Amino acid sequence: MVDARRRPPARTVRLRPVRKDELALQYRVVHGYRRAFRMAGSGPVLVLIHGIGDSSATWAELIPDLARTHTVIAPDLLGHGASDKPRADYSVAAYANGVRDLLTTLGVESATLVGHSLGGGVAMQFAYQFPERTERLILVSAGGVGSEVNPMLRLVSLPGAHLMLSTLRLPGMRLQVGLAVHLLKMLDTDLGQDAPELLTLVDALPDDTSRYAFIRTLRAVVDWRGQVVTMLDRCYLTQGMPTMLLWGDRDSVVPVRHAYGAHAAMPGSRLEIFEGAGHFPYHSDPARFLSLIEEFTSTTSPADWSREHWRELLVEGRPAVEGAGGRADLARTQALESDLREASERSAT
């Protein structure tokens, strides 16, 4: 599917008021740890996986509309939101296992996964580990493509990050951070496009336990050089699985060029660019986001996984990168080839 940057959504979705009972947190204890999640609606299952430092609350205004046609499950990943924050494994593989186990306790055998940022990496890892349980993939500003990532996240991955984050709780710091973020927005910087979400991240780290969980999660995927894991080396395994990529063209956290790289590496994938949006396109244009989700899930069939097909893909291996022609396409192809060459150093198992 070609880039539909300028194509309007299939139809306009009218956002309806959010009812409290649709957004209430529920809890399940899995492996001795309390897992929080939101669950609403009925029909095919749609799992919404948030990014680092975030929680299921990021989907709150979307859940009621998605729940009209789906059973929507939005977990707080371990170490985030209202879920427990133990000294544990916060790798993408562990998170994929956690999502599987939560779905199993809820009696869900398969689902369409929607993953944002870190959650996109978790969704891809889930599809790799449990392809038979993955119906579709919808990746939103997903991590795990190229090594580039916002310098602030690289800084927080360094030793001493806990002390730096602790200063955010000093008296007056919330106001100063708010003013700085407001200035970024007033100057129309790319980072300023996500001003409200930046303040939410600050508020999500109120104590030592939350900060340690955040740092452990971040260091599992980012170091001082950038992202340390990748999905590029196994993207070809999504062949036959309906996959859609959604990205803001002003994303300052995960550059939009990663969207084109992932699109080229995932056979048959669909790419939708949100013009003027930052790292949270579903907040920038929720009506278009909802329309795309509804259209994609209603016009594609769930992946028909088989052990034989999986084996054939593995034996054939990753196909060569091909460009469609043109200077811009050539540049993207060369960039993707560069990312693929370094993928062996950053592969997640």
Catalytic residues: 117, 251, 279
Angle (deg, nearest 10), helices 195-203 and 173-186: 160
| Element housing 71 (H / E) | strand 71-75
State the Cα–Cα distance between residues 91 and 219, nearest whole angstrom.
9
Residue 284 Cα distances to 93, 197, 269, angstroms: 30, 11, 23
* Residue partners of 299: CB distance under 8 A and separation at least 6: none
Token pair 């190229």 is found at 146
Question: Sign of torsion, CA 231 257 197 160?
Answer: positive
State the Cα–Cα distance between residues 191 and 197, nearest whole angstrom.
10
State the Cα–Cα distance between residues 247 and 256, nearest whole angstrom.
6
Pairing state between β 222-223 and 111-116: unpaired
CB neighbour class for 22 (10 Å; exposed up to 12, middle 13-18, buried from 19): middle
Torsion of CA 38, 42, 45, 51, to 10 degrees: -30
State the Cα–Cα distance between residues 69 and 114, nearest whole angstrom.
15
* Phi, psi at 257, each rounded to 5°: -60, -25
State the Cα–Cα distance between residues 316 and 326, nearest whole angstrom.
28
Q: Specify the 3-state DSSP secondary structure of 273.
A: strand
